[in-house]
Amino acid sequence: MSRGVYPRVNCLGCVWTLTFAVFSLIVTDSEAYSCHEVRTAFQTRQVGPPQRVPETPGTDVDLLVCKHPGPSCCTRKMEESYQFAVKRETLHNIHSYSGQLEHLISKHSEAFQCKFSVCET
């Protein structure tokens, strides 16, 4: 399958890269910054409840993916929410594309059988 045929196919790496580019805010002074933009993006993408985003950047020692020195708007609960959202979106895409493929194969089953076995004429 070419990516041109199915342009909506998302790779997990792309999603994680985007996630951490948005949510791994590196700040020098946590008093001067808030996590308002992160909370808005978190809600807009419907990743999880907005209560999982802190009001101000902090340091969460339990982070598995958003690791960096300094305060961040990323929390362990947010990481878990994103992992769940990525799995949910990937499964949705798999079901959607497999349904499309099933329809395409059934629609062209005679030509398909002719290609891979003996044709009945």
Closest CA to 26 of 65, 68, 56, 54: 68
Q: Would you write out the chain's pLDDT as a tens digit for each of its 121 residues?
A: 445 555 555 566 655 555 555 555 444 444 468 888 989 988 888 888 888 899 998 887 788 888 878 888 888 999 999 999 999 999 999 999 999 998 888 888 877 677 777 666 5
Strand partners, 58: 72
Strands (E), the chain: none
Q: What is the pTM of this model?
A: 0.58
Strand partners, 107: none
pLDDT value of position 28: 40
pLDDT value of position 6: 52
Beta carbons of 40 and 50 less than 8 angstroms apart: no
CA distance 99 to 94: 8
Assigned token pair, 104: 């395409």
pLDDT value of position 89: 92
pLDDT value of position 10: 54
pLDDT value of position 61: 79
Count the neighbouring beta carbons within 10 Å of the beta carbon of residue 6: 13
Beta carbons of 66 and 79 less than 8 angstroms apart: yes
Continuous segment of H or E residues that includes residue 107: helix 76-107
Q: Which residue has the tokens 């798999």?
A: 94
